């Protein structure tokens, strides 16, 4: 298990014991994190799983691949420097203790 805290769009914190090997989106949806609707269920076709990572974690994981990068432009919430699509981020111990923000619409 990897401990992740989501900051939901209303500013409230949602601590999650995330399963390694599943995506950040799957863990968020399974835990009822508000603001991640994941309409395409991880097919990289909706951008409704937009999250903002802490800078150090974003740097560690590397920049999004080109299709994810393209899809981020369609996110309803404004893209930021450390934006990622949560369905494209696999949970691993590298994420332990991370605080991940779900942007407000």
Please, what is the minimum distance in Å from the beta carbon of residue 39 to ligand FES? 6
Say which residue the tokens 């835990």 belong to.
31
- Residue 25 interacting with ligand FES (CB under 6 A): yes
CA 8 from chain center: how many Å? 11
Alpha-carbon gap, residue 64 to 58, rounded angstroms: 9
Q: Which residues contact 56 (CB under 8 A, 6 or more apart)?
A: none
Please, what is the minimum distance in Å from the beta carbon of residue 22 to ligand FES? 13
Binding residues with ligand FES: total (CB under 6 A): 15
Query: Which residue number is nearest to ligand FES in terms of Cβ?
Result: 87
Stretch that binds ligand FES, among 1-9, 44-52, 76-84, 94-102 (CB under 6 A): 44-52
Please report, to the nearest 10 degrees, the dihedral formed by the alpha carbons of residues 93, 61, 76, 87 taken in order: -50
Q: What does the binding site for ligand FES look like in residue numbers (CB under 6 A)?
A: 25, 38-40, 42-49, 71, 85, 87
């Amino acid at each position: 298990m990897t401990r992740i805290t989501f900051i939901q769009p209303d500013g409230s914190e949602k601590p999650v014991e995330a399963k390694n090997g599943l995506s950040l989106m799957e863990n968020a949806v399974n835990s009822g994190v508000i603001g991640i609707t994941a309409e395409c269920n991880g097919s990289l076709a909706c951008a409704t799983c937009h999250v903002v990572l802490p800078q150090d974690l974003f740097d560690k994981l590397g920049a999004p691949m080109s299709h994810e990068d393209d899809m981020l432009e369609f996110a309803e919430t404004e893209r930021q420097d450390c934006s990622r699509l949560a369905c494209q981020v696999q949970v691993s111990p590298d994420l332990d203790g991370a605080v991940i923000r779900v942007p407000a619409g």
